[in-house]
Structure 1
Amino acid sequence: MPLYKSIIHNPKTSIKIWKITESYKDLIAPLNLTSSSIKRVEGMKSEMHQRGFLSVRHLLREFGYQDADLFYDKLGKPHLKDGKQISITHSFIFSAVIISDDLVGIDIEKQREKIKIIAHKFIGYEYGYLNEDETDYVKKLTVTWCIKESLYKLFATPGLSFKEHCLTIPFSDNDFTSSAWIDYKEKKHKYTATYLEFEGFTCAYVL
């Protein structure tokens, strides 16, 4: 399947989402991968991860980039050689890339009941407004996780805790943009958080 969704958040920031329906063979055939990327994808034990990796390269092409334009720092954070900011995610059958002039982070997660089991590991401040008796509790937990994962990717700082340092506030009804903070070493950093839902998945990004 070609591009699933394209979003222009503002003149400096765009998001593209891919639905992974192609086989590994069909995904890799048109790509011009670097030797390190070939080694990396061939070393993956899961075909799902291989297809996710390759779908991200297709998204790069949608933005006008090639695999060789992407590199990773020692913390594993992706960068583009032209200096644009980038963040990458994939989960099951979806992958996404956000590119901006500003610092960004993005995450996609499947909405699953099992997230309630690990909620205590990443929810702190948010317990003040989250209600586990609500019918959309799993969706709200998933949004919160995606935002915190996006903050973590953006900040790229060892020791950052989802529960202690990443804070989200509730979204208003029918409003998919809100604010989030990183409270780290006595400094507060404020970001704009946006989310969307599709086919049982949640995607959130921050900038």
Structure 2
Amino acid sequence: MPLDKIEQINPSRLVGIWHITENLDQLLQLITLTERQREEMNLHKVDNKKLEWLSARILIKLMAAQFDINFEGIEKNEHGKPCLTKSPCEISLSHSYPYVAAIIDKTKDVGIDIEQPKEKLQKVAHRFLSTPELDFIKDDTLMLCKAWCAKETLYKIYGLRGLVFSENLLLEPYDHTNSGIITGNIIVNGSAKKYKLEYKVTEDYVLTYNVS
């Protein structure tokens, strides 16, 4: 079972990474699905998407067990945000094949994102970055990937649609290091809320999630 890790961030929060190496049949042996859940999985026509869907649920099931929570599935609320069935815990999921990331907290809103740095981010940077962000990130693909992950994380924390990444989700300058903290701000209707986002850079991906 290629569970990469489950890390405890604080007494109420866990972060997990799954590296997909299994085929569909092997993953199905690790979790029991209802007929409705199988139908949901099969809505994905591409095999890799089915593998991501399954791996995310296996990972969350393992993480929930560490909090003595019985995993009954994942649903989406009216805003499309994933939620644990019959549990008040907050969760967030992300995938960039062959990796899946998840975060769970007993009470507080959470967000997580995992991506592989790609040059195509250069073409869309102006769409999700503000002018000050473009100035300090410049054309650095890795820095762009950190920014994209950080803003996706903030978007998932907020949990509602309608945000403009370049206006409502703003990042303070951060370092070129492989691990550290990005300070992000969610600004809506003139009111700002600040979050500390941890980032980690590996040979295969960039990961961000909120620690506050």
TM-score normalized with structure 2 length: 0.89
* 2:163 counterpart SS class: coil
C-alpha separation between the residues in 1 aligned to 2:181 and 2:150? 11
Matched, 1:90 2:95: yes
Give the structure 2 partner of residue 194 of structure 1: 198
Matched, 1:119 2:122: no
Instruction: Measure how far apart 1:66 and its partner are.
Output: 5.7
Instruction: Measure how far apart 1:5 and its partner are.
Output: 2.1
Give the structure 1 partner of residue 143 of structure 2: 140
* 1:56 counterpart SS class: helix
Instruction: Measure how far apart 1:113 and its partner are.
Output: 1.0
5 Å-filtered alignment, 1:39-188, equals: 39-63=39-63, 64=65, 68-80=72-84, 81-100=86-105, 101-124=107-130, 125-132=132-139, 137-172=140-175, 174=177, 176-188=180-192
TM-score normalized with structure 1 length: 0.91
C-alpha separation between the residues in 1 aligned to 2:101 and 2:197? 16
Amino acid at match of 2:150: I
Deviation per CA, 1:118-145, whole angstroms, max 9, x where unpaired? 111101141231122xxxx111100100
C-alpha separation between the residues in 2 aligned to 1:172 and 1:138? 13
* 1:83 counterpart SS class: coil
* 1:90 counterpart SS class: strand
Asked if the contact 1:57/1:66 (under 8 Å) is kept, the reply is no
* 1:88 counterpart SS class: strand
Instruction: Measure how far apart 1:173 and its partner are.
Output: 5.6
* 1:107 counterpart SS class: strand
Give the structure 2 partner of residue 205 of structure 1: 209
Give the structure 1 partner of residue 25 of structure 2: 25
RMSD: 1.6
- Structure 2: unaligned runs, 5 residues or longer: none
Amino acid at match of 1:97: A
C-alpha separation between the residues in 1 aligned to 2:59 and 2:196? 23
Deviates more, 1:83-92 or 1:69-78: 69-78
C-alpha separation between the residues in 1 aligned to 2:6 and 2:59? 10
Asked if the contact 1:111/1:202 (under 8 Å) is kept, the reply is yes
* 2:185 counterpart SS class: strand
* 2:108 counterpart SS class: coil
C-alpha separation between the residues in 1 aligned to 2:104 and 2:90? 6
C-alpha separation between the residues in 2 aligned to 1:177 and 1:54? 30
- Equivalent pairs, count: 203
- Structure 1: unaligned runs, 5 residues or longer: none
Asked if the contact 1:170/1:178 (under 8 Å) is kept, the reply is yes
Amino acid at match of 2:89: K
Deviates more, 1:91-100 or 1:194-203: 194-203
Instruction: Measure how far apart 1:74 and its partner are.
Output: 1.4
C-alpha separation between the residues in 1 aligned to 2:21 and 2:70? 21
Amino acid at match of 1:185: N
Asked if the contact 2:9/2:15 (under 8 Å) is kept, the reply is yes
Instruction: Measure how far apart 1:69 and its partner are.
Output: 4.0
Deviates more, 1:63-72 or 1:95-104: 63-72
Amino acid at match of 1:85: E
